[in-house]
Chain A
Amino acid sequence: MNKSIILKLDNIYSSYSNVQVLNGVNLLVRKGEIVSLLGRNGMGKTTTIKSICGILKPHSGKIEFNSVKINGMESYKIARLGIGLVPEGRRIFANLTVKENLIGSSVKGYWDLDKILTLFPIFEERLSQLSSNLSGGEQQMLAIGRALMTNPSLLILDEATEGLSPVISKKIWNVLREVSNEGISILIIDKISQDLKEFSNYSYILERGKSVWNGKLAELSSDNSKRFLGV
């Protein structure tokens, strides 16, 4: 059942302030699939995301989104094709209110303010509050809401539950399940965990900027896990 491929990375090489970071990354995300990208710190996960979103220009290899070649394209054009980014460090606009964060880059479509508020009810009475005094977990939810408001067909989360308490992480996983049921494909970076194993259909592991393993996380052997993930 070959569902149509939404995102394809083919042998991506990229450098970052003249340090070679990506040395051949291959990755595939099919429509409606949930793919996770793992690897120890400094192995090029975030650089891969930045190359997809156009923040960084890869110097060789091909990135296709809905079979449109996007590497080298301006990041705002790539975003408009339907990629919603929840970046590492969340990067919400602390000088704007919660509502302004949500509607600032919104695009008409299924997801609108009411649907986001049903997903994240805690924002209901805090819409006009400055988002600088949100907690880490709330900032992550706001970043997810902001990305959903652009009505993407592919949602990318970099460090989805990094540094969040177990209670909040649970909430994030539930939200992501709901989002996935609405047909949005997801590419997620996070530490390996039971939730991640259940949640992602397929996974890739990066080691020093190369995709060295892919498959279902359940099939990851313990010494591979130790070798690649140090855990």
Chain B
Amino acid sequence: MNKILQIIDLKKNFGAITASNKINFCLETGEIHALIGPNGAGKSTLIKQIMGEMKQDSGEIILSGINISNLTTEDRIHLGFARSFQITDVISDFTIFQNVLLAKIGKEKKFYNFYSSIDSGELTYEEIKTILLKIDLWDEREKPASLLSHGERRQLEIGIALALNPKLILLDEPMAGLSLDKIEKMKVIFNQIKDDVPILLIEHNMDVVFSIANRISVLVNGKIIASGTSSEIKSNLDVKEAYLGTA
């Protein structure tokens, strides 16, 4: 179980307000680690710092051993950071297969290949097939992305992230706006992909978090007040009082 993403003593404040107060956090291989916290707890500020959209005041961010604290967002993506739902929308005129293939071609720098045909399947066919099977879109692979439902679009975006063979995937509110059966489907997908790509999950939906997250960290007023398995967190008193409000 080695550490994929480590955040050490991250500090960030806007004038008087401390948005991130010595945050320590780590994501290990093969796990879904959920980050929960009430509105205004500093979740989005933390995510922005992890993504490089916002500079932290102090502290370090390590991505599988490399210190990426001062890298730009593009460089972080190249190093293997995939973020789903911040990726701008998919290419609606392309089929599902072509969308994932494009990501593969980009990642493996194959775009100067003028000769081999993308229809014949010589090219990374197997890899794309496994990705599409994982995100359960293999049967509709020839469907244009423009006809996808809201949920299917989410699944495709995860497929595209996987095609970039990232070191981790950051999922920001993946269940927002999904119907119950769609949420179940997504849970299955998450469990399938967590083994080769760990997931940092930001989600409001408590029953989702408690049902699939291996580890949960609770962020309140910019500080991680508790971190542990879902059962530990459920019973933890100060978490209840600060956040779940059922003390």
Contacts and interface: CB of A to CB of B under 8 A. Distances in A.
A208 interface: yes
B177 A42 contact: yes
B66 interface: no
A42 B39 contact: no
B178 to A, nearest CB: 9
A19 interface: yes
A19 B176 CA distance: 15
Given A230-B204, A231-B39, A42 B176 contact: yes
Nearest to A42: B177
Interface residues of A, number: 9
B67 interface: no
Majority secondary structure, A binding face: loop
A40 B204 CA distance: 11
B152 to A, nearest CB: 11
Contacts of A40: 176-177
A208 B177 contact: yes
A132 to B, nearest CB: 23
A18 interface: yes
Contacts of A42: 176-177
B113 to A, nearest CB: 33
A129 interface: no
B146 interface: yes
A128 interface: no
Interface string B111-148: 00000000000000000000000000000000000110
Nearest to A209: B177
Contacts of B177: 40, 42-43, 208
Interface string A18-42: 1100000000000000000000111
Contacts of A231: 39
A43 B204 CA distance: 16
Interface of B: 39, 146-147, 150, 176-177, 179, 204
14 contacts: A18-B146, A18-B147, A19-B150, A40-B176, A40-B177, A41-B176, A42-B176, A42-B177, A43-B177, A208-B177, A208-B179, A230-B39, A230-B204, A231-B39
Interface of A: 18-19, 40-43, 208, 230-231
Given A42-B176, A43-B177, A208-B179, 11 more contacts: A18-B146, A18-B147, A19-B150, A40-B176, A40-B177, A41-B176, A42-B177, A208-B177, A230-B39, A230-B204, A231-B39
